[in-house]
Chains A and B, each alone.
Chain A
Amino acid sequence: MNSPALLINNLTKVYSNGHKALHGINLEIPHGDFFALLGPNGAGKSTTIGIITSLIKKTEGDIQIYGIDIDKNFVEAKTYIGLVPQEINFNTFEPINEILTNQAGYYGVTRDEAIPESEKLLKKLGLWDKRFHFSRKLSGGMQRRLMVARALIHKPKLLILDEPTAGADVEVRRLMWDYLKFLNENGTTIILTTHYLEEAENLCKNIAIIDDGKILRNSSMRNFLNELKSENLILYTENPLKNDFSVEGLDINIIDENTCEVSISVDSSINFLIEELSKKGVKVKSLKNKTSRLEELFIRMVDKNGK
């Protein structure tokens, strides 16, 4: 498995209305990676995924899937890819088991082979009881899980998820996270785009941030998060805070009489913060991060890029 799972060279897309969605981007995603492709709306994430999966025609550039150029041998290259698109796109008049076996057929998997695989996936994703139901009868969370099952029915080596948990409740998201982790640990390379940055922070090993069709940053998640110099915490206090409450060396913003936001350097310890507040007679009941660390960095980076 020497070739990267995905190699993108100088990928450019200019739409027929003249809009340049991608400005010659380059990406290399190794086999076994769990990769986050993040960016604001209209940044070029879906265009990139659309080109990889051939829903969108590229203007320029090369794409290789496990060393296979999609222009030269798209049949073999595509057998490696499984796609979970952003929008629900089933035939809503087809039973769930048919959706899976048909999808398998499009990848050259016979019905005899697809039926046991479909059973395995539906059981794993909690849809087995619904296998004879039409997909339109499923709840939003179940439809999201069915999208994942459909993308996996031909056992792809590279799974691309375009906002797979959009609109899903917490329980479904947790279930999906666990399952995606399981898949990745068992050798499936995963590319994830999501607006839930906490999701990317928890799951992904590497990250690229794209904006205005350009890759702004491409690094490991750990290195990226280490760039955060300060973080914002929300503190809930036992005793009321006065509007002019302040502590030297800390940037404090009073939200209400028992809540404040504190910005501290990532080098400072939480103990220091608690002690300083304690000296002023403030007892902290609980605290939490205002946003995830990744979200903080993401917003700063995109803001810097002129958003």
Chain B
Amino acid sequence: MENNFSLQIIAYNTIVRKEVLRFSRIWKQTLIPPVITNILYFIIFGNLIGERIGQINSFTYTDFIFPGLLLMSVITHSYTNTVSSLYISKYHRYIEELLVSPIQNYTILAGFITGGVIRGLAVGVVVILAAQFFVNFTVHSIILMLIVILLSSTLFSMCGFLNGLFANDWDDINVIPTFIMTPLTYLGGIFFSISMLPEVWQDIALVNPILYLINALRYSMLGITDVSIIFAFFIILIFNIFIFALCMYFLSIGKGLRT
């Protein structure tokens, strides 16, 4: 049992190291684009349009949208890292290196998720550094902020993993980010408070899980939220547990990996 534990730990460290090296080697593709995208958001939405919108809950528009932009960068890159890494390893068949080895499914999942989380965090750090030139960076609760970012990037790493398991071609790894994630993220309140929406749309917005992530992060940074922070954490946890269970189930039946 002890041998198995140390084997799984070494295997986990190996997968994480490999994942981190993978995205670090191509840092121009993985770490620079989110900085440029966010700078454009700050300039266009924050400074040019934001000045006409004025303040929201006594924060400038740039400050108000920053938590949402930060979260969008983190979750998008956590997702992309896992789905692309898993799919490419299936495509080139080197996933078999893992499948024939004595690694448990939970170790494979944990390794890929950690790789995605680390990329999400690395992107978060570079976006925060870039934001120093545009926003008044404030933190209401650093612990809450770290927890929200960690749980959100974990959740989206797992979603990327699921997508990677089901993906059969390159199109499949773009469908969910393009048609589901991006619309939900934009409609999740990055650029607005749901109190600005008509009542019907406020109710509809509450069905969007990303709304809770954005509001939880906005609360941890600015101290304001459109939804109950306890309920937001509850939703984030439930989704994490649900997607984790799905990943483990599909790994156990070998979906997309074993014949």
Contact = CB atoms under 8 A, between A and B. Distances in A.
Interface of A: 15, 50, 53-57, 74-79, 81, 83, 85, 87, 89-94, 98, 101-103, 105-110, 150
B254 A106 contact: no
A78 B100 contact: yes
Nearest to B7: A108
A89 B25 contact: no
B49 interface: no
Contacts, number: 86
Nearest to B93: A89
Interface string B1-28: 0011011101101110110011001000
Interface string B80-100: 000000000100111011111
A79 B18 contact: no
Contact of B10 (A53, A54, A108): A108
A105 B14 contact: yes
Given A75-B104, A93-B25, A106 B97 contact: yes
B259 A78 contact: no
19 contacts: A53-B99, A54-B99, A74-B102, A75-B7, A77-B102, A83-B100, A89-B96, A102-B17, A102-B18, A103-B101, A105-B13, A105-B15, A105-B17, A107-B11, A107-B102, A108-B3, A108-B7, A109-B10, A150-B97
A92 B89 CA distance: 10
Contact of A89 (B92, B101, B103, B254): B92
Nearest to A91: B94
A75 B106 CA distance: 13
Contact of B92 (A15, A55, A92): A92
B52 interface: no
Contacts of B93: 85, 87, 89
A144 B126 CA distance: 41
B31 to A, nearest CB: 17
Contact of B89 (A53, A91, A106): A91
Nearest to A90: B94
A55 B99 contact: yes
Contacts of B92: 89-92
Nearest to A16: B259
Contacts of B99: 53-55
